[in-house]
Amino acid sequence: MDLQIQGLSTEQLGAGYRQVLVPWSVQGNLNPPVITHAKGSYFYDQHGKAFLDLTSGYVAVSLGHGHPKVVKAIQAQAERLCWTASSYFNDVRASYAELLQKISPWQEGLRVHFACGGGEANDDAVKIARLVTGRSKVLTAYRSYHGSTLGSSALTGVDRWRDPIPAPAGFAKFVAPYPYRSPFHTTDGPEEAQRALDHLKMVLSHEGAQNVAAILIEPVTGSSGLVLYPRGYLEGVRQLCDEHGILLVFDEIMTGFGRCGAPFAAQRVGVQPDMITFAKGASASYTPLGGVLVREKVARHFDTHLFDVGHTHAGHVLAVAGGLAALEVYLEEGLFERAKSIEKWLNTGLQQLRERHKIIGDARGLGAHFGIELVRDRETREPLVRWHHPDGSAPCERSIRNCSNAAFMPMAATT
């Protein structure tokens, strides 16, 4: 029996929905399900049909749907206070910041800048880096995704996600390691890392390291192929940043809050950045919450300089209440550790699948953050599907070795 929503029939629901612009899609002839409710690992349409949320939404609903503690915390906060200016102190923000400090990779302390999502958080990290260093340029990897705002789209390196319009000034790209399809023509991990670092040094020399405010990088990539960097690479990037006074920013919007088997992937890879951008799992996406964690030695710059970064909904108390409750659940239920145990059986299972199916060229990941790479031929590693632009135009003619459209299936676990 169809669920009647506000007196609307199924046909009326569909007609009303077609008046809404759906992101990341050509708008004609759309016919997605109408999702009306969710619980645990499943969401449901108006007919009551269940869908297993295998990818946790946009790699975001880390607690599954409808966790009672988070729902109750949001309800209680709504009854008490829905909004107050970000320029005021607030008890919920303070409690969340204190708990974030306990799980952060920095013993020295941190300060939190709040945003409403990941793209906005990356935009703000860029502005913070420029304010602290007085420099203008920011470097990111070609194989990367950092959001869809004007600024974060400019940070993004993969062409299929980048805006087809000129990017703002000040953004430059470098090639990061990709062990399965080495752009540096080696099958040796340490050599891949060293050649990638030599390449980054060259980029810095041409851009002028003294002009670079930050290097912003995903410690494990997400939408651009789930690449794990070889040991020594991120350590080398950290060293280059220290040598040249550049701030290192980790985009942990996908990897943060336990998905990689620790509060942050920084702790799994053993490298401390200067800032961490976060969103998605911060509130398990029950509320729109993101932000920037700034280590204390960087944040203290603003004790004597204007922190000229802010938004009307930065630190929205309903959003932060959801984040605080979600973080408490992560800790109380041992979910950071659970993601690390998931890594063992998920990796084993995917490797067994790879052995049985020649279509799987590689399976890789960290924690509950895994992907499989699909190929036509294991020897040549030709991708199963040659990438086309979203508008349907001709596929890229780059070599198979350097093609940035490796077939990718995100895997994520919900509870």
**pLDDT in the model for residue 392:** 52
Q: What is the DSSP letter of 175?
A: P
* Rounded CA separation 116/154 (Å): 19
* 60 close to 413: Cβ distance less than 8 angstroms: no
Residue type at position 148: S
Instruction: Look at residue 91 and give its three-state secondary structure.
Output: helix
Q: What is the DSSP letter of 256?
A: T
For 53, 213, 332, the CA distances from 415, given in Å and listed in that order, are 10, 39, 14
**pLDDT in the model for residue 46:** 85
> Tokens 């169809």, residue?
2
**pLDDT in the model for residue 415:** 36
Q: What is the DSSP string of 338-390?
A: HHHHHHHHHHHHHHHHHHH-TTEEEEEEETTEEEEEEEEETTTTEESS----T
Helix (H) or strand (E) holding 206: helix 189-207
Chain centroid offset of residue 406 CA? 18
Q: Which two tokens stand for residue 402?
A: 């350097």
Measure the CA dihedral 38/344/238/197, to 10°. Answer: -110
Low-confidence ranges of the chain (pLDDT < 70): 1-18, 161-162, 387-415
**pLDDT in the model for residue 29:** 81
Measure the CA dihedral 275/280/281/285, to 10°. Answer: 140
Q: Which residues contact 34 (CB under 8 A, 6 or more apart)?
A: 10, 13, 14, 17, 45, 46
Check: CATH 3.90.1150.10 for 336-411?
yes
pLDDT in tens, 353-410: 999 999 999 999 999 999 999 999 999 999 998 765 555 554 443 333 333 333 333 3
69-332 with 336-411: one CATH topology? no
**pLDDT in the model for residue 280:** 98
CATH class as words, domain 69-332: alpha beta
Q: Where are the beta strands (DSSP E) in 159-312?
A: 171-174, 212-217, 247-251, 275-278, 290-295
34: left (phi over 0), alpha (psi -120 to 50) or beta: beta
Show me where the domains of the chain are located: 10-52, 69-332, 336-411
Q: Which residues contact 20 (CB under 8 A, 6 or more apart)?
A: none
**pLDDT in the model for residue 238:** 98
**pLDDT in the model for residue 400:** 31
Instruction: Look at residue 35 and give its three-state secondary structure.
Output: strand
Q: Which two tokens stand for residue 228?
A: 């794990």
Q: For residue 169, give the nearest of 197, 206, 130, 203 by alpha carbon.
A: 130
**pLDDT in the model for residue 198:** 98
pLDDT in tens, 142-174: 999 999 999 999 999 987 766 777 788 999 999
**pLDDT in the model for residue 7:** 55
Instruction: Look at residue 51 and give its three-state secondary structure.
Output: strand
* Rounded CA separation 105/100 (Å): 10
Q: For residue 330, give the nearest of 265, 412, 252, 262 by alpha carbon.
A: 262
* Rounded CA separation 81/79 (Å): 6
Q: Is this structure's pTM higher than 0.85?
A: yes
